[in-house]
Every structure is written in structure tokens, then in C-alpha cells.
Structure 1
Amino acid sequence: MELRKHLVSVLNLITLALSIPILGAGIWLASVHHTDCVRFLQGPVIAIGLLMFLISIAGFVGAYLRITWLLWVYLLFMFLLIVLLFCFTVFSFAVTNKGAGEVLSGKGYKDYRLGDYSSWLQRKVKNADTWNHIKSCIMDAHVCDGLGVYKLASDFYKAELSSIQSGCCKPPTVCNFLFINATYWGRPLNEDADPDCHRYSYVQSELCFNCDSCKAGIVDKVRHDWKKVAAVNIVIFFLLIIVYSAGCHSFHKAQEEGTYTRYGKGII
């Protein structure tokens, strides 16, 4: 029965290892969103990964020292963690399932409309305090400076702009602004086509940072990053179920055989 006696410890080491990709995903989100200061997802991801890490340590200690009550605490909190991870993953897919950039004929970039995305993400960026913070960060990051290389309209229209550059650095295509250079445009021919046509500023430090298209560009970037993290989470979710089920079975058998005692002294 020596194999069964150590199996729970091994399973906890596996869950400890599985917590690392979740922590890594949260740190990755914080790193890729550093320039636009989007801070409403990576916090929960890091918290879930850290909780899983701590729970796994408790389970390992309980299994190694054969402390029954600590293993019961581990199994309870691991079950709650699995439920939490499931709910969070479903929520992530729900809020990122809707929305995409609009493909434009003859253009290398896309246009972005805020109304195409989930209402939850829209509310986040429409909050004045949140948006002022995000806007300040993307302005400080000078995301539009790299567009200066495009001197000709034909070159600019072929450019593969990021969602943030497309939404924040230029006016919406539907407004039909006259191209002068990548960050300076002449008066629109169709200024009533979209409210953003009036929000675009000729001041180089402002451009379209107050436009809904800029908010949409931020949301689109967040959406793509969240979908990657959600995919990692769902894989880990199913692995956790397998590990948890095996752990419950092994712990139950070990108790029947007297491997664990209440105070941590093994009978075997």
C-alpha cells in the first residue's frame, strides 16, 4: 500500500504545477496590457492562480505529514476552486465571444465599433474614471508615433495597424476624411456618418483618443488576450477535475487502510 500512501502527495504536486500556468497567464496579461493600463481581468486570474498554489501546498503538507483535517480542508477548497475557475472561464468566454473588427475593402487595417462588443466590456471603458486612466496611459505610450513612416495614402491604407492604432490614431473610415498624413487628416466629406467624426481632434496629442472607436480598439485587444487565457483555463479545469477525483479516491482508500490519522502520525 506504499504506492497509495504517496499518491495523494504526488497529486498535490501536480495541482501545484498546474497553478503555475494560471499565474503565468495573469502575469502575461499584466505585461501585455502595461501600455494601455487595462486592469480588470489580470487581477482575478492572478488571484485564482495564487489560491490554487496555496491550496496545493496545504494538500501536499497534509498528505506528506498524514494530517487528516488538513486534507479535508484541501479537498473542500479545491472543490470551491474548481467551481470558481469554471464560473470565471464561462464568464470570460461570454464577455469575449461578441465583437470583431470590421474588414475594409482595400485596407490592411480594420475599423472598430464599440457597440459590437459585450455590454460588460462596454460599461468598463465607458466609465469616465477608468477611461481617463486608460487614455492617459496610451497617450504616454505614444502608440501613434510609429505611424509617421506612412507619408503616402496608398502606403497607409495597406498598413496592418493594431486595433489600438486604428481606433485611436485615425478617424473612422466611414467619415471619409482627406488623407494628409497618418496622424493629420483634412475635413471629412461625410462628417455625420458617425459621432466619432466630430470627436476626432486635429490636435496631435488628442487625435481620436476621445472616440468610441478608440475604446473599441482597446476592448478588441483585451478580447483577444482574454480568449487565450480562457483557453488555458478550460484545459486546466478539466485536468483539475481528473486530479481532484483521483485525489478523493486515493484519500478515501488511504483512510480505510489507516494511512492517515487525525493528528498527523501515520499508523503505517
Structure 2
Amino acid sequence: MALSNNVIGAINFVAVLLSIPIIGAGIWLSTEPDNSCINILQWPVIILGILILVVALAGLVGGFWRIPWLLIFYMVAMLVLIILLACLVVFVYMVTVRGHGHIEPSRSYLEYKLDDFSGFLRRRVRSTYKWERIRTCLSSTSMCAELNQSYRMAQDFFNAHITPLQSGCCKPPTECGYTFVNPTYWISPINTAADMDCLAWSNEQTQLCYSCDSCKAGLLANLKKEWRRADIILLITLVALIWVYLIGCCAFRNAKTEDLFRKYKQGYT
């Protein structure tokens, strides 16, 4: 029994370690400017990681100190958390399966359309009240100013691989036909009727295209890219957690069998 309990404790120590990449993924998301402005995914990921850490610690204590009720709590609670993590992994995949950039002639960067993304993500930016808060947060960053420091010539900028957020918020849509002065200053549009964003563009450095649908789409494209990376981490951790959980269940069952066999031998003698 002691050996089995030690094995269960060691397995739960691995579960403790597996909570770290989950918490780390949430913290990484919270440090990204776009995620910190919209605040959707990072806190559920962090909270779920912390809960897995707490439950794994309970299993660790229950295994090494032979506390059966704590091990039973670990088995039930960890199963629930694994199911929640699996649901989160599937949810992130489903809401990010749509949304892609559009190629424009003579441009290396992509353009983004709001309607290309899932309804869940679009609802996060459609509300005027929500977007005003997000817009204020985005405009306080240096992402657009960095473009002016990096690209002086029009062709250099057109050949640049800028982020979706920069493509959507820091410049007017290519189809409007604005003339390049610098990455955040454009003049003489050819076709202002091509898109409502053509009229929304402003050379005022605090405005730019932050009120454009292209900026909302660029934000969602950035979120999609970062959420997909986080989802890969969560998926790998989920598979490892399931493996650890199944081994722990087997060890717990063997421990109970050893205990019953020992009690049977004592009663027989």
C-alpha cells in the first residue's frame, strides 16, 4: 500500500507540473496588447490552471500521507477539470476556425474583413460601448508609431509583413486607393465609396482607422493567431493530464486491492 501511495503521489506531482503550462498560457495571453484590451480568454485559462494546480496538490498530499478521502476528492475533481479543459480546447478551436486574410495586389500584408470571423468573436467587438473601451486601449499602444520608425518608403511598407492589427488599424484599406505619405499618414483617396472604412480613416494619429471595421477584423485575426497557439499548449497538456489521470486511477485501484488483500490475510491468520 505504501508503495502504491508513493506512486500516486509521484503521479500527482506530474499533474502539478502540468498545471504550469496552462497558467503560463493564460499569463502569456494577458501580456499581449490585443488580449489585454479585450479580456476574454486569459482569465478562464488562468483560473482553470490554478484549479488544476490546487486539485493536483490535494492528490499529492493524499497520496504521500495516505488520506483516502483526499484521493477520492482528487479523482472526482480532476475528472471534472479535465472535462472543462477539453471543452475549452474544443471551444477555442471552433471560434477560431473561421477568419482569414485577403491578398491585395502589390501588397505583402493581408487585409481582413469582419464578416469572415465567427459570430462569437464578432459579438465581442460589435457593441459600440465595448469597442470604445477596446479602441481607447489599442490607441494607447505604440504599434502604429512603430511602423513610422521602421518604414520610410512606400515600397518598403508595401512589402512588409505587418501584423493583422497593424494592417487593420494603422492604415486605410487598400481598396480605398489612398496615397502613401508614411505608414500612418495617407492622402487623396481614389474610391471613398468602396467601403465605409474609407470614410472612417483619419490622419489624426489618435484616430487613424481605430473606428474601422477593418481594425475590429485585424484585432480578431490577431486574437485568432494567439488563441490557436494557446490552444495547442492546452491540447498537449490535456492529453498529458488524461494520461496521468488514467495512470493515477490504476494506481489507486491497485492500492485499494492491496489494502483489501492485506486485510483479508490478517483476518485469515
Normalising by structure 1, we get a TM-score of 0.91
Report the AA paired with residue 21 of structure 1. P
What residue is the counterpart of 1:143 in the other structure? Answer: 143
Q: Measure, in 1, the Cα distance between the counterparts of 2:120 and 2:24.
A: 25
Q: Secondary structure at the match of 2:165?
A: helix
Q: RMSD of the alignment, in Å?
A: 1.6
Identical residues among aligned pairs (%): 40
Q: Name whichever of 149-158 and 129-138 sits farther off.
A: 149-158
Contact 1:26/1:46 (CA < 8 Å) preserved in 2? yes
Q: Does 1:180 align with 2:181?
A: yes
Specify every segment of 5 or more residues in structure 1 that has no aligned partner in the other structure, as ranges. 260-268
What residue is the counterpart of 1:168 in the other structure? Answer: 169
Q: CA deviation at 1:36?
A: 5.5
Contact 2:75/2:249 (CA < 8 Å) preserved in 1? yes
Report the AA paired with residue 161 of structure 1. I
Q: Measure, in 2, the Cα distance between the counterparts of 1:147 and 1:247.
A: 52
Q: Does 1:112 align with 2:107?
A: no
Q: Secondary structure at the match of 1:227?
A: helix
Q: Does 1:205 align with 2:206?
A: yes
Aligned length: 259
Q: CA deviation at 1:16?
A: 0.3
Structure 1 or 2: larger helix share? 2
Q: Name whichever of 250-259 and 107-116 sits farther off.
A: 250-259
Report the AA paired with residue 11 of structure 2. L
Q: Secondary structure at the match of 2:186?
A: strand
Map residues 1-268 of structure 1 onto 2, 5 A cutoff.
Answer: 2-33=2-33, 37-149=37-149, 150-258=151-259
Q: Measure, in 2, the Cα distance between the counterparts of 1:189 and 1:248.
A: 68
Contact 1:35/1:138 (CA < 8 Å) preserved in 2? no
What residue is the counterpart of 1:265 in the other structure? Answer: none
CA 1:36–1:85: 2 relative to 1, 3 Å: closer
Q: Secondary structure at the match of 1:144?
A: helix
Q: CA deviation at 1:139?
A: 1.1
CA 1:34–1:102: 2 relative to 1, 3 Å: closer
Contact 2:99/2:221 (CA < 8 Å) preserved in 1? yes
Contact 1:152/1:181 (CA < 8 Å) preserved in 2? yes
Q: Measure, in 1, the Cα distance between the counterparts of 2:243 and 2:205.
A: 55
Contact 2:34/2:219 (CA < 8 Å) preserved in 1? no
Segments of 4+ in structure 1 off by > 4 A?
A: none
Specify every segment of 5 or more residues in structure 2 that has no aligned partner in the other structure, as ranges. 261-269
Report the AA paired with residue 133 of structure 1. R
User: CA deviation digits over 1:134-169, x for unaligned, max 9?
Assistant: 211221113211222434322221222211111011
Contact 1:85/1:237 (CA < 8 Å) preserved in 2? yes
Q: Measure, in 1, the Cα distance between the counterparts of 2:196 and 2:154.
A: 24
Q: CA deviation at 1:52?
A: 0.3
Normalising by structure 2, we get a TM-score of 0.91
Q: CA deviation at 1:219?
A: 0.8
Q: Measure, in 2, the Cα distance between the counterparts of 1:147 and 1:33.
A: 16
Q: CA deviation at 1:34?
A: 6.5
